[in-house]
């Protein structure tokens, strides 16, 4: 019988509910149970694809091409698994499904109502995931915090599921305990209020995770226990940590997995968290590797940036930790190179640079200048999606000699459209069909032997995830090859260039796909691995 754990927020958002859910999954997995995780986003957007990254943070893409919340990425990373579109829903996707069913007469002439039909649709999806994955545990993270109008119907679904499956549903509340600077004391009152609010939705949490900047002391555990009506051992301390990968390890200091198993009257199967503990109990390595990410940045602070590029950052960490290095990651604004080209010299201070994905014109010439500098100065470079397209434009202009070459995304009348739109994509844009219409999800890629790509992956057939509308224009391929560019990865079905690289360079590799989306802490991505190896070599040279 599947066990369902709902993870809900209290007090405030942004305290790491996604990472908490992922960490719960990890510790249950390490007790020998199979786990899957679902995310519910209360917004009306059908998926995350149409949202601006500054608004939303990174848009994560699954193998089956869903554009979703970055938390799905956290689940994949912590659970070391790939998740499908079944595991994600939004208010918009639920309503859309219910309305479509109604239009198809699937409610048999009944009056279709918000309650019970909306929560029932939610429950149907949760049960579908349980049936499909046959997981022992299905974790369901409900976005937002208790008391918000937006997520009420999802809480209602949780309450109804508990009624339907007595003994098989638990609720975990992730709360926050502030330490007001004037008092210097951790306060439990907001948590007490949050529990009351959740109670008013008919839900009593079974476990409370107390997020704070420091560990929870005994008196406060006691207080939360008494006032929130839960056993003291079910109050889990979750202080801020240096690395998110230490959270599962921290949870186990409070015997968290045992508490969950006890709640469901289950026994540990085999303890096998050793790899995780070995890899992440101390990532504070003495030696570092310095990586710069060149992008178009907004003056909204490092937090937004970290949020928008989370998979890239995590992929850098995975490969660095694996090679016993502490990564130092810097944000470099591409526009500064446009304003003052002499600042390109600062790129020398890095062991390796990444130009990540992106859209639009801002900062693009700066990125092209940076790529030229990295190419000419033998500095390790990894280009991701837009980063690859810019590498193609740079090579076209400065090596092949195609003056004013560009991507048609930015300049439709360029004399040399070296990056152009895919025909089916032009059709989508013409019809204003913007949602979920990019080239999305996993596509096969064939690697050419004796290339860096092949050296990294050690296999010829790979599959990687995509999210873009533009592609390398094959009309220029022969010219590029003659000028020394290597097309080391090709999608054979459509003859699309997926990886480009240079020979006489320590590491100059760029991909049309997003390798960062598939990197896992216990299984770092092969391209990031080789990139970090080259960066370390540069540092040591």
Cα–Cα distance between 204 and 426 in angstroms, integer? 51
By the 8 A CB rule, do 293 and 306 touch? no
Q: Which stretch binds ligand GLN (CB under 6 A): 108-116, 128-136, 268-276, 461-469?
A: 461-469
Residue 408 phi, psi dihedral angles, 5° rounding: -70, -10
Nearest CB to ligand GLN, comparing residues 226 and 361:
361
Q: How many CB atoms lie within 10 A of CB 506?
A: 17
Nearest CB to ligand GLN, comparing residues 26 and 467:
467
Instruction: Rule CB under 6 A: choose which of 65, 248, 358, 366 binds ligand GLN.
Output: 358
Residue 471 CB, shortest distance to ligand GLN, in Å, is 7
Q: How many residues bind ligand GLN (CB under 6 A)?
A: 10
Picking from 148, 171, 218, the residue whose alpha carbon sits closest to that of residue 24 is 171
Nearest CB to ligand GLN, comparing residues 16 and 49:
49
Question: Could you give the string, one character per residue 362-401, with x where binding to ligand GLN holds by CB under 6 A and - elsewhere?
Answer: -----------------------xx---------------
The SS3 call for residue 289 is strand
Residue 462 CB, shortest distance to ligand GLN, in Å, is 18
Sign of the alpha-carbon dihedral angle for 97, 98, 101, 106: positive
Instruction: Rule CB under 6 A: choose which of 470, 480, 507, 513 binds ligand GLN.
Output: 470
The residue whose Cβ lies closest to ligand GLN is: 357
E strands in 85-234: 88-90, 137-145, 169-176, 207-212
Nearest CB to ligand GLN, comparing residues 4 and 480:
480
Which residues does residue 168 pair with via DSSP β-bridges, in sequence order? none
Residue 411 CB, shortest distance to ligand GLN, in Å, is 13
Residues 6+ apart with CB under 8 A from 105: none
**Residue 514: active-site member:** yes
**Residue 68: active-site member:** no
By the 8 A CB rule, do 334 and 364 touch? yes
Task: State yes or no: residue 441 binds ligand GLN (CB under 6 A).
Answer: no
Q: How many CB atoms lie within 10 A of CB 218?
A: 8
Task: State yes or no: residue 467 binds ligand GLN (CB under 6 A).
Answer: yes
Sign of the alpha-carbon dihedral angle for 50, 363, 368, 383: negative
Q: Which stretch binds ligand GLN (CB under 6 A): 97-105, 266-274, 353-361, 449-457?
A: 353-361
Nearest CB to ligand GLN, comparing residues 107 and 359:
359
Picking from 477, 495, 484, the residue whose alpha carbon sits closest to that of residue 416 is 477
Catalytic residue among 117, 318, 514, 525: 514
The SS3 call for residue 77 is helix
Which residues does residue 332 pair with via DSSP β-bridges, in sequence order? 294
Q: Which stretch binds ligand GLN (CB under 6 A): 322-330, 427-435, 467-475, 495-503?
A: 467-475
Map 347-410 to HEC letters: HHHCCEEEECCCCCCCCHHHHHHHHHHHHHCCCCEEEECHHHHHHHHHHHHHHHCCCCCEECCC
Q: Which stretch binds ligand GLN (CB under 6 A): 180-188, 346-354, 466-474, 490-498?
A: 466-474
By the 8 A CB rule, do 325 and 289 touch? yes
Catalytic residue among 117, 252, 314, 385: 385
Catalytic residue among 468, 505, 516, 525: 516
Structure-token pair, residue 458: 């050690």
Residue 358 CB, shortest distance to ligand GLN, in Å, is 5
Task: State yes or no: residue 359 binds ligand GLN (CB under 6 A).
Answer: yes
Structure-token pair, residue 153: 């119907």
Nearest CB to ligand GLN, comparing residues 208 and 421:
421
Distance of CA 301 to the CA centre of its chain: 19
Binding residues for ATP: 14-19, 71, 241
Residue 335 CB, shortest distance to ligand GLN, in Å, is 17
Cα–Cα distance between 331 and 309 in angstroms, integer? 11
The SS3 call for residue 415 is coil
Nearest CB to ligand GLN, comparing residues 6 and 472:
472
Residue 413 CB, shortest distance to ligand GLN, in Å, is 18
Distance (Å) of CA 295 to CA 241, 358, 359, 395: 28, 8, 11, 19
Rounded to a whole number of angstroms, the distance between the first and last alpha carbons of the chain is: 57
Cα–Cα distance between 363 and 349 in angstroms, integer? 21
Binding residues for UTP: 13, 187-192, 223
Q: How many CB atoms lie within 10 A of CB 484?
A: 13
Instruction: Rule CB under 6 A: choose which of 409, 464, 501, 516 binds ligand GLN.
Output: 409
Binding residues: 13-19, 71, 141, 187-192, 223, 241, 358, 386-389, 409, 469
Residue 441 CB, shortest distance to ligand GLN, in Å, is 13
Nearest CB to ligand GLN, comparing residues 21 and 407:
407
**Residue 427: active-site member:** no
Q: Which stretch binds ligand GLN (CB under 6 A): 282-290, 292-300, 463-471, 483-491?
A: 463-471
Q: Which stretch binds ligand GLN (CB under 6 A): 173-181, 355-363, 390-398, 524-532?
A: 355-363
- Residues forming the active site: 385, 514, 516
Residues at the site binding ligand GLN, with contacts judged by CB under 6 A: 357-359, 385-386, 409, 467-470
């Amino acid at each position: 019988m599947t066990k369902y754990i709902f993870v809900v927020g209290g007090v405030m958002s942004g305290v790491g509910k996604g990472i908490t859910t992922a960490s719960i999954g990890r510790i249950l997995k390490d007790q020998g149970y199979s786990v899957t995780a679902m995310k519910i986003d209360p917004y009306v957007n059908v998926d995350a694809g149409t949202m601006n990254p500054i608004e939303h943070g990174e848009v994560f893409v699954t193998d089956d091409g869903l554009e979703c919340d970055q938390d799905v990425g956290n689940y994949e990373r912590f659970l070391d698994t790939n998740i499908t579109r079944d595991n994600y829903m939004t208010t918009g996707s639920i309503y859309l499904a219910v309305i479509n069913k109604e239009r198809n007469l699937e409610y048999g002439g009944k009056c279709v109502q918000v309650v019970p039909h909306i929560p029932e649709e939610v429950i149907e999806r949760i049960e579908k995931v349980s049936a499909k994955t046959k997981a022992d545990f299905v974790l369901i993270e409900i976005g937002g915090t208790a008391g918000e109008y937006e997520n009420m119907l999802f809480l209602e679904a949780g309450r109804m599921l508990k009624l339907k499956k007595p003994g098989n549903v638990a609720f975990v509340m992730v709360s926050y305990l502030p330490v007001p600077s004037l008092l210097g004391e951790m306060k439990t009152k907001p948590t007490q209020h949050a529990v009351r609010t959740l109670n008013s939705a008919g839900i009593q949490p079974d476990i409370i995770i107390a997020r704070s900047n420091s560990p929870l002391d005994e008196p406060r555990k006691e207080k939360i226990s008494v006032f929130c009506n839960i056993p003291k051992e079910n109050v889990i301390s979750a202080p801020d940590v240096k690395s998110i990968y230490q959270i599962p390890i921290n949870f186990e200091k409070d015997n968290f997995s045992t508490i969950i198993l006890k709640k469901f009257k289950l026994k540990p199967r085999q303890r096998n968290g050793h790899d995780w503990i070995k890899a992440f109990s101390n990532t504070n390595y003495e030696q570092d590797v310095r990586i710069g990410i060149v992008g178009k940045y907004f003056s909204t602070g490092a937090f937004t940036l970290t949020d928008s590029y989370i998979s890239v950052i995590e992929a850098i960490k995975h490969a660095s930790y694996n090679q016993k290095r502490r990564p130092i990651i810097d944000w470099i604004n591409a526009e500064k190179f446009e304003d003052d080209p002499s600042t390109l010299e600062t790129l020398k201070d890095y062991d390796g640079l990444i130009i990540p994905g992106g859209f639009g014109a801002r900062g693009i010439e700066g990125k092209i200048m940076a790529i030229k500098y990295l190419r000419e100065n033998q500095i390790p470079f990894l280009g991701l999606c837009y980063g690859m397209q810019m590498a193609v434009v740079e090579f076209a202009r400065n090596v092949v000699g195609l003056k004013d070459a560009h991507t048609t995304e930015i300049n439709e009348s360029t004399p040399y459209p070296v990056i152009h739109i895919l025909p089916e994509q032009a059709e989508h844009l013409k019809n204003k069909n913007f949602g979920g219409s990019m080239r999305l999800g996993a596509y096969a890629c064939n690697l050419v032997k004796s290339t860096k790509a092949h050296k990294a992956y050690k296999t010829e057939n790979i599959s990687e995830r995509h999210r873009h509308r533009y592609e390398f224009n094959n009309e220029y391929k022969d010219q590029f090859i003659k000028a020394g560019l290597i097309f080391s990865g090709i999608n054979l079905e459509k003859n699309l260039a997926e990886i480009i690289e240079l020979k006489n360079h320590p590491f100059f590799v760029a991909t049309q796909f997003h390798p960062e989306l598939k990197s896992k802490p216990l299984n770092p991505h092969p391209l990031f691995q080789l990139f970090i190896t080259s960066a370390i070599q540069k540092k040591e040279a």
